[in-house]
Chain A
């Protein structure tokens, strides 16, 4: 009984001191800061989506307009949304605090180098291929282009053509297989892909290579701190409870 009362008191005291989030409509919903744009671009990039500044601003403004109109009409945020955001925000702040705490940790060269020497296979760049697709609406045109140019080592690249420079893990496996089968030549035979006949011009194939120790140091530091984040969290919690 006493334990239950104590637990209840703890829960009440936590909820009293928890972070409060209040959301109200923007006074000026047409302003987008450069920080908001760069954050969106970076978040999208993590998902593999490339978006330019103009489109990022448009995306934010559209959502902002819809969100503000919703708030004005309904006067409050749906309860579940706020709870989710609150938990997410608290987790983000907690992680930021742990990172801040770990930033002060100094790792000697012996620590970093010993990790590098025993995990060298993890420190390789990914093979990167630069290629240029030529699109055709039928096979004959594509094949004609291929036959005329397959021996041409210095193909004239039209100015408006976009060159893709991608690491192999980001190339569609089907396209990658076509490139692999035609390693020896600069031009791939025509293949059908997403409604087009395509001939690829392989501009550059940069092989995977060992990342030197000096370039791997920062990644190793991040890996080791990540591996000890739970320990850092425990230390911080103890420190707070001791204060």
Chain B
């Protein structure tokens, strides 16, 4: 086998691995059901961040999801705490964005639905997102039971 062929096969092998990774990463665990066109346009940056966040979260990529949490909450709760807090979350699921409810110019509530991989468990939940210096951040849950604002 000449060296050019070897090089070609190596590149082919490398590309196939990269494509495999890319396909895996692009798997979406988030779907949109919200159809208010005005909201979809106005909040496209938020929706993009929401999709990225929940995709990372669903894939248990807490390191990346952590970067979407509110900056002051990240200061109060280091990543080691975040990882431990979310660790029991080992189910596979899909998140469906149902509706968008703006509270003010910089706060939005997103109503979503959790659907388990086997389609047997559903639950509705609310997410709060805050616009800080032009970027949307997720308000992290810091307790398993509801608590006053920290």
Contacts and interface: CB of A to CB of B under 8 A. Distances in A.
Nearest to B139: A118
A228 interface: yes
A111 B149 CA distance: 16
A107 interface: yes
Nearest to A113: B132
Interface stretch (B29-37, B69-77, B83-91): B69-77
Interface of B: 70-76, 78, 106-107, 130-133, 135, 137, 139, 149-150
Contacts of A81: none
Interface of A: 107-115, 117-119, 224, 227-228, 231
Given A114-B70, A115-B72, A109 B133 contact: yes
B76 A114 contact: no
A108 B71 contact: yes
Given A117-B107, A118-B139, A111 B133 contact: no
Main secondary structure of the interface of A (DSSP, over half): helix
B13 to A, nearest CB: 42
A117 B130 contact: yes
A223 to B, nearest CB: 9
Given A117-B132, A118-B70, A111 B106 contact: no
A224 B72 CA distance: 8
A143 B131 CA distance: 57
A113 B134 CA distance: 11
Nearest to B106: A117
A118 B76 contact: no
B75 A107 contact: yes
Contacts of B71: 108, 110-111, 113-114
Q: Which of A115, A118, A224 has its CB near the most chain B CB atoms (within 10 A)?
A: A118
Contact of A228 (B76, B132, B137): B76
Given A112-B72, A114-B72, 18 more contacts: A107-B75, A111-B71, A111-B72, A111-B74, A114-B71, A114-B73, A114-B132, A114-B137, A117-B107, A117-B130, A117-B131, A117-B132, A118-B70, A118-B72, A118-B139, A224-B72, A224-B76, A227-B150
Nearest to B78: A231
Contacts of A117: 106-107, 130-132
Nearest to A107: B75
Contacts of A113: 71, 132-133
Contacts of B150: 227
A151 to B, nearest CB: 44
Contacts of A115: 72
A224 B133 contact: no
A107 to B, nearest CB: 7
